[in-house]
Structure 1
Amino acid sequence: MGFSKWIGGALGWSFGGPIGAIIGVAIGSMIDAMSNGDSGNFTGHQGQQRQHHSAIYNTRPGDFEVSLLILASIVIKADGKQDQRELDFVRKQFVSMYGKERANQAFRLFKNIAKQKNISTRQVCLQIRQMMDHPSRLQLIHFLFGIAKADGLVTADEEQQISIMAGYLGISSLDYESIKAMFYRNSDNAYKILEIDKSASVNEIKTAYRKMAKKYHPDKVIHLGEAHKKGAEEKFRQVQEAYEQIQKERGF
């Protein structure tokens, strides 16, 4: 699959606004770096650029994909270095979701995005917030924590950066702490994942479980395509495990 066909067919609302500007610079860098003179392959996307005033929440897989690439590039640089394990994690995730060929195209784009300086986290996140539904934004935060944890530890700088992004994305503190708890080992994490206190009653625990199972159900992001079900299933599984852990501890 040629790059122009992939990028032109994948993107919807994301090819406009600040995100479109970032992608444009990245593609320009890729064209400049080409040594085979085949820059004509990149012209196919030009007529398909769209401004971000499309119908709200008309999010396609390519929009999520590009949003993830940009936010991941910011998180990876949050601690002042680019750890190879984090880069490998990004590529591995894309291979598992899209296959090797498309993952190679996405990773080429990612590396050129990561080279850019002064990317406005706020502007990018506000565009995503305006156009992307809540379950998809939760999925973004989950992926970003996975990338930060790829080297074995979510650093304070990385956590702070993801927290800032979550705020701009309109993610509540409860939802943020729920996803964050999935990547830390702590005796209270099962309760945080279910968004309840340790003092919650059995009925409150059961109600919270039903609520979170519904919120994180893989069907919530089915519009992003089958490729994203795996990540959604991971969140759903951790909700189930948190509930089972509390059941065991509380004996109900």
Structure 2
Amino acid sequence: MIKWFGAFVGYLFLRLPGAIIGFLIGSLIDGASRSGGTVFTDFTRQKVSPADFELNLLSLCSIVIKADGRVSQQELDYVRQYFLATYGKEKANAIFRTFNEVIKKREISGQRICAYLNQRTRYEVRLQLVHFLFGIAQADGHVSEAEIRKLRELAGYLQIGATDFESIMAMFVESADNAYKILEIERTATDEEVKKAYRNMAKKYHPDRVNTQDEAIKRGAEEKFKEVQKAYEAIQQERGI
């Protein structure tokens, strides 16, 4: 693809800024004729290749890592280990070399990246993306208020509903009613309402609903589905259902 050739040539001359410029120029050249690639969405949306998705994912990772004003080694290691487990050593190392350049970039527009993803990914994929970003924030053992604010901001750009955001956050930030928040219900819900909420959440977050070729997002879907099951089991045990 021309855009990746342009990115490669630009990187040789101007490092990361040149790669970005080359990528954008190449996209203009081959964008009109591109009809192949992996589809992460249904037919009504535009297409996004795995490489495009990974580049935007890395940019969002860097935004979250820098949200509290410091670059945590634990969070960097989380990203590295996640890509190693997902893609294997060779591809993960190539991805992480790009990530090291992205993390040094001072200004990355989360709003622009999210607008791009909104046009090309289904809602279920974006939910798992927020889940993955929360995992990064928690990698150092604590999700700070600054990180929560940044994650809430990014979730807003990704058009994630407030209730869905609170459900995901409850998986990473401890509170007395976490299990209920994950199932998006109040503690006062009846047993039948609890069962109905679980059925709805199980459908909503089932990995099969995440129509994507990206292994990192698939793994996130599986993790979130397990959290929904754990929340339901905790309420069942609490209530003797």
TM-score class, shorter: 0.7 to 0.9
Partners in 1 of 2:48 and 2:206 — Cα distance? 18
Query: Residue 113 of structure 1: CA displacement?
Result: 1.1
Structure 1 position 139 matched with structure 2 position 128:
yes
Query: C-alpha distance in 2, partners of 1:70/1:198?
Result: 37
Q: What is the rounded CA distance, in whole Å, between the counterparts of 1:240 and 1:206 in structure 2?
A: 11
Name the CA shift for 1:162/1:227 in 2 (closer, same or farther; >3 Å). closer
CA distance, structure 1, for counterparts of residue 101 and residue 164 of structure 2: 31
1:101-120 matched pairs, under 5 angstroms: 101-120=90-109
1:217 aligns with 2:206: yes
Write the distance in 2 (CA, Å) between the matches of 1:168 and 1:186.
26
The percentage of aligned residue pairs carrying the same residue is: 48
Q: Is the 8 A contact 2:74 2:140 kept in 1?
A: yes
Q: Distance in 2 between the 1:227 and 1:121 partners?
A: 19
Q: Which residue number in structure 2 is paired with residue 250 of structure 1? A: 239
**What CA distance in whole angstroms lies between the structure 1 residues aligned with 2:133 and 2:146?**
13
Q: Distance in 1 between matches of 2:13 and 2:172?
A: 38
* 1:56-71 → structure 2 map (5 Å cutoff): 56=45, 58-71=47-60
Who is 1:179 aligned against? 168
Q: Distance in 1 between matches of 2:26 and 2:47?
A: 20
Does 2:151 align with 1:162?
yes
1:124 aligns with 2:113: yes
> Are the equivalent residues in 2 in contact too, given 1:69–1:110 (CA < 8 A)?
yes
1 CA distance for matches of 2:9 and 2:185? 45
Whether 1:89 aligns to 2:78 is yes
SS in 2 for 1:223: coil
Which letter does structure 2 place at the counterpart of 1:205?
V
Aligned residues: 226
Q: 1:98 aligns with which of 87, 109, 114?
A: 87
Change (3 A) 1:27 1:201: farther
| Deviation of 1:49 (Å) | 5.2
Query: Are 1:202 and 2:223 matched, yes or no?
Result: no
Partner Cα separation in structure 2 for residue 72 and residue 156 of structure 1: 17
Where in structure 2 are there 5+ consecutive unaligned residues? Answer: 36-43
Residue 50 of structure 1 corresponds to which residue in structure 2? 31
CA shift at 1:29, angstroms?
4.8
Give me the TM-score of the superposition, normalised by structure 2: 0.83
* Distance of aligned partners of 1:246 and 1:27 in 2 relative to their CA distance in 1, 3 Å threshold: farther
Tell me which residue corresponds to 1:18: none
Provide the residue aligned with 1:237 in structure 2: 226
Contact map agreement 1:59 1:133 (CA 8 A) in 2: no
Q: Where does residue 41 of structure 2 map in the other structure?
A: none
Q: Quote the RMSD (CA, aligned, Å).
A: 3.1
What displacement does 1:149 show? 0.5
Within the candidate set 61, 66, 80, 1:72 is matched to 61
TM-aligned CA deviation for residue 226 of structure 1: 4.9
Distance of aligned partners of 1:227 and 1:83 in 2 relative to their CA distance in 1, 3 Å threshold? closer
